[in-house]
A and B are shown apart, each in its own frame.
Chain A
Amino acid sequence: MARTIIHAMRVEFAGRDLVSMRELSRQEIEHILNTAERTEFSGDVLKGRLMCSLFFEPSTRTRLSFETAMKRLGGEVVGFAKPGAASLSKGENLTDTIKTVSCYSDVIVLRHPREGAARLAAEVSDVPVINAGDGSNQHPTQALTDLYTIRREHGRLKVRVAMVGDLKYARTVRSLGQGLAKFGARLLLSSPPGLEMSEELCAELESMGARLEVCTSIEEAVERADVLYVTRIQKERFPDPEEYRKVQGAYRITPELLEIASSRMIVLHPLPRVDEISPEVDHTDRARYFHQVRNSIPVRMAVLSLLLGVV
């Protein structure tokens, strides 16, 4: 289903899927972010269009954000938020579910616990598929939201971003890293033992244009960063619960720790958080994670509008 048409200065998204940050060029990312900036746009450009939201894994922000974006543009939403409610519980496979749903919707938003689910869905669907998270692989619209927030705050994307926490399983780290790499960002990596970024991903990010450095302490990451990107340790991705217990609570961002940061440094988090950012940080002028939540709406409005060919 996916197709890419890039003219000299024009990027065409109509009818395409959004599965992975790997396949978006720098120019295409900029086009989405620019559209999101304009998309404080109003009106009912998606009136009469139907988004099918299929969430096989729990989600609060992503699902509600997509639904809000669609409704703000005048569109309608159907779908489910629990896999038990789907015919999957009767034994239907994902392939058949997607083929069925693509018969009566204009766009599909899919979250699934298996890596590669969105790619498969895009292949069998007749309508655009947006990946809202596939296992520990990709979460492209979160990455676009993060990039949008960083660009708004710093005015550019060639910045120093400290990635702190679970760099092994977090799909947001993978997707954001790939996005930032295309802009030549410097990534400072800080993670508890056992949750380091894989060599494979490090090599890929460097080949895409990022400069990577491993920090020896969280203080070093905080001190040198323009953006502190904190992630939750994802209990649900650990094959062995004992391994999770070993790293649980391994780091915590507090206002005291942030005192050594540069004056323009901001703190981002894709949320939900557990205990990795203390609530007191919310009251500092560095906290931008709820701005991210707000920014997710224009970004998803832009993605929906572009894929459905109305902007």
Chain B
Amino acid sequence: MERDIRVRKIKDGTVIDHITAGQALNVLRILNLPSSSGATVTVAMNVPSRKAGVKDIVKVEGRELRSEEVDRIALLAPEATINIVRNYRVVEKKKVAIPQMVEGVLGCANPNCITHFEPVKPRFTVESRKPIRLRCHYCERIMCEAEIAKQF
């Protein structure tokens, strides 16, 4: 019964499941939630999970995630799944995937990188997915998980 209350179904919107434990609030920040639109947001943290031990879950009513947002979530929660819900039914389920190249989402953590001084979009190649490590295409420096999380 208690479990039912925690994961109560939503009518329309997005359920982000399997978020790395502890990252739910960063995911909310990426999605700019809770927003002024008044959408109901449910956050569950440290939920027992068979796969990961513990996980976070975020439910957003009345909002379907765009692909750019999914990419951003993948940087923080590479195992997350996105469930699009319409009329209480999951109509689309996708696993987030860290792309080979990350563009326009993050800034370079190196303050002397040319991207901070010229009209150019920062770009990163993914060196490792677990833990996440990105290499700046321009200055070639590695950004670690903590430096990435700091930007959200």
Main secondary structure of the interface of B (DSSP, over half): loop
Asked if A295 CB lies within 8 Å of chain B CBs, one says no
Q: Given contact pairs A114-B114, A116-B138, A119-B114, enumerate 6 new A-B contacts (beta carbons under 8 Å).
A: A93-B117, A93-B119, A95-B119, A95-B120, A112-B114, A119-B139
Interface bits A75-95 vs B (CB < 8 Å: 1, else 0): 000000000000000000111
Q: List 11 A-B contacts (CB under 8 A).
A: A22-B140, A95-B119, A114-B112, A114-B139, A115-B113, A115-B114, A116-B139, A116-B140, A117-B114, A120-B115, A138-B140
Q: Judging by beta carbons under 8 Å apart, are A137 and B140 in contact?
A: yes
Across the interface, name the chain B residue whose C-beta is closest to A114.
B114
Across the interface, name the chain A residue whose C-beta is closest to B117.
A114
Give complex CA distance A95, B114 in Å: 10
Kindly identify, within residues 48 to 106 of chain A, every residue whose CB is under 8 Å from any CB belonging to chain B: 93-95
Across the interface, name the chain A residue whose C-beta is closest to B115.
A116
Asked if A292 CB lies within 8 Å of chain B CBs, one says no
Across the interface, name the chain B residue whose C-beta is closest to A178.
B140
Which residues of A have CB within 8 Å of B118? 93-95, 120
Give complex CA distance A94, B112 in Å: 14
Asked if B141 CB lies within 8 Å of chain A CBs, one says yes
Give complex CA distance A120, B136 in Å: 12
Kindly identify, within residues 56 to 103 of chain B, every residue whose CB is under 8 Å from any CB belonging to chain A: none
Main secondary structure of the interface of A (DSSP, over half): mixed
Asked if B129 CB lies within 8 Å of chain A CBs, one says no
Give complex CA distance A20, B138 in Å: 10
Give complex CA distance A20, B139 in Å: 10
Is the interface on chain A under 10, 10 to 19, 20 to 34, or 35 or more residues?
10 to 19
Which residues of A have CB within 8 Å of B138? 115-116, 119-120
Q: Judging by beta carbons under 8 Å apart, are B119 and A116 in contact?
A: no
Asked if A270 CB lies within 8 Å of chain B CBs, one says no
Give complex CA distance A136, B141 in Å: 10
Q: Judging by beta carbons under 8 Å apart, are B141 and A115 in contact?
A: yes
Interface bits A106-139 vs B (CB < 8 Å: 1, else 0): 0000001111110110000000000000111110
Which residues of A have CB within 8 Å of B115? 116, 120
Asked if B41 CB lies within 8 Å of chain A CBs, one says no
Across the interface, name the chain A residue whose C-beta is closest to B114.
A116
Tell me, rounded to whole Å, the shortest Cβ–Cβ distance linking B145 to chain A. Answer: 13
Which residues of B have CB within 8 Å of A259? none
Give complex CA distance A137, B108 in Å: 14
Across the interface, name the chain A residue whose C-beta is closest to B143.
A200
Give complex CA distance A120, B115 in Å: 9
Which residues of A have CB within 8 Å of B114? 94, 112, 114-117, 119-120, 134
Q: Judging by beta carbons under 8 Å apart, are A115 and B112 in contact?
A: yes
Which residues of B have CB within 8 Å of A114? 112-114, 117, 139
Give complex CA distance A113, B117 in Å: 11
Q: Judging by beta carbons under 8 Å apart, are B112 and A20 in contact?
A: no
Tell me, rounded to whole Å, the shortest Cβ–Cβ distance linking A110 to chain B. Answer: 11
Q: Judging by beta carbons under 8 Å apart, are B119 and A20 in contact?
A: no
Give complex CA distance A94, B119 in Å: 9
Q: Judging by beta carbons under 8 Å apart, are A116 and B136 in contact?
A: yes
Across the interface, name the chain A residue whose C-beta is closest to B116.
A114
Which residues of A have CB within 8 Å of B120? 95, 120
